[in-house]
Chain A
């Protein structure tokens, strides 16, 4: 907390002294997460900070209070007015920001979509930094749960909202895997519930799952709010041995459940690395050392080589990281 406040002061100070602070004209990067107070994005910010420390770029972050579609726009405009070179953003809407992006890019500002892309609107941003190969999320989650329940029994999915694009892609892949891979033939997907990424709603939905399906063996929740709610419900109902919970969660959010045995394992990737990669990529593109086109290889000391893919998409890692009792102590985000 202390460090955070200091950061704020530093940012404020920097903003007041702009003009005199950069004799060497460092690249100015701003990151706009979905909303403030979300621990997930704090890790991305940390990645940016560490990256910029090494590269000598100037980094700030600003965020709206709510993850509502338009709440990022005033911040975006203000940053452009401040003359930043690179805007990295985790957009709250796949299309509401298009107009502002277009204008920023016409003035030479680089727009990076971080952590999620803008499906269908890829030509409004310069590149996307994604944490993992999203096609692997679905099968990987199914395998994780299957291994815990002996590849047999009723399972359910607790998702975010019915229209959440990422989650829907993953769920489709999960269904596909369950249907086509004979390994999972005995696992039966009984329902998909939607908790709207709201703790209360997710909790009620998870409770309804337990009530409606007495033979339920497992829940996959590919959203951080949902997986925590599901774990909490299973713990409260004292059914941890019967119903296994897997999903995508952050270590800090899930640590308790891992340590008390409610949850055996869950998955995620490294948001920190996203920030790091984004910083390296941004500085490289701005300085002309990296060509923003498919096939170019970006080298980040901590990550190794990352190749720019189709539609200028960069992925920090290929496979998801699995967290369990053995390794969770190594992570703090």
Chain B
């Protein structure tokens, strides 16, 4: 346990304080740097792989399939920086979307159904938060449980029927454009800026980093750890239901298997963005860049007709490599 050794080392006192690191070195170990380099590399490779790739309109259109996960991943970034994890958002997307569909089918107007979906998202997030902050159970296990439970409830609610025939104004958010940019991408960019500022310049963002760095120290510094964590799980539930609604709008229908396997994609995006799996380190910028990295890789492979089995392999490898790399860089910077 090198961390505890280091801790003991600090504990057992030292004499000299080390000199501060030069700026370029700090920049080099910034979590987003690797992501940025990879993004450029991936774009070059993808352009060579298929002549159909290098088309901004197409990339933006394809990005809408991942943007919903990416928006959730922004909040998940905060959750992971705070030292927790939420594996259930994809299941929450499905369940809240199915609730939306069910309420709508029962004759309620769209705004009411949307409200029901958002409220249920908050409730599901609160349920996760209750287990984590009140019962003090590890979030990684709790949300594996709720991942199965929420997906199961979606299945109970909707069977394997697809619930559709939404009013036409609600359908097709991804075809609404601002210039050549689809609305979901605009939402994602705005959400990134908002959450980036939240994390960067507000006191709550600061406290999220502090909690993730040392929860004990945060408690002892009078930071309301439980309240903030509960807030993060609520945010995760809320943003999942928003993403669920966006998916419903894009597809024009919902089914229990909506966004299935999305937890992998979300964790992958956050990890690719250089956020440290054990908390205390990471950034919205990293997640933002990682989203485009994923879009480029996935779209590049698909448009080059690379078979899905290779894609699964690449995604699994990417996840592992990205965590290993982040950890390695982190450990290096600590030396």
Contact = CB atoms under 8 A, between A and B. Distances in A.
B303 A63 contact: no
A96 interface: yes
Contact of A36 (B159, B253, B308): B308
B112 to A, nearest CB: 22
B307 interface: yes
Interface string B36-65: 000000000000011110010010011001
Interface string A1-30: 000000010011001101100000000000
B172 interface: yes
A133 interface: no
Nearest to B55: A81
B148 to A, nearest CB: 15
B164 A95 contact: yes
Given A36-B307, A69-B258, A163-B161, A95 B61 contact: no
Contacts of B257: 68-69
A134 B303 CA distance: 35
A307 interface: no
Interface string A153-187: 00000000111100000000000000000000000
Nearest to B57: A81
Contact of A81 (B255, B303, B308): B303
A60 interface: yes
Contact of B160 (A60, A95, A164): A164
Nearest to B303: A78
A64 B252 CA distance: 20
B302 interface: yes
Contacts of B258: 69-70
B135 to A, nearest CB: 32
B200 to A, nearest CB: 33
Contacts of A68: 257, 260-261
A93 B162 contact: yes
A81 B161 contact: no
A19 to B, nearest CB: 6
B312 interface: yes
B172 A99 contact: yes
A94 B252 CA distance: 11
Interface string B179-193: 000000000000000
Interface residues of B, number: 41
B289 interface: no
B52 A81 contact: yes
A22 to B, nearest CB: 13
Given A77-B61, A163-B160, A96 B255 contact: yes
B306 interface: yes
B250 interface: yes
Interface residues of A, number: 37
B4 interface: no
A83 B303 CA distance: 11
Contact of A15 (B50, B174, B299): B50
Interface in B150-176: 159-162, 164, 171-172, 174-175
Given A94-B162, A163-B161, A74 B305 contact: no
A39 B303 CA distance: 24
A83 B172 CA distance: 22
B304 interface: yes
A15 B307 contact: no
A95 B302 contact: no
B308 A65 contact: yes
A269 B7 CA distance: 70
Contact of B51 (A19, A103, A162): A19
Given A69-B162, A93-B253, A99-B172, A74 B312 contact: no
Given A69-B258, A74-B65, A96-B253, A64 B308 contact: yes
A126 B174 CA distance: 23
A100 to B, nearest CB: 9
B160 A161 contact: yes
Contacts of B12: none
Contact of B312 (A18, A65, A162): A65
Contacts of A65: 308-309, 311-312
Interface in A68-100: 68-70, 73-75, 77-78, 81-83, 93-96, 98-99
The 10 closest A-B pairs by CB, nearest first: A78-B302, A78-B303, A96-B251, A95-B253, A163-B161, A95-B164, A68-B257, A161-B160, A15-B305, A69-B255
Given A65-B308, A103-B175, 5 more contacts: A69-B255, A70-B247, A93-B251, A94-B162, A95-B162
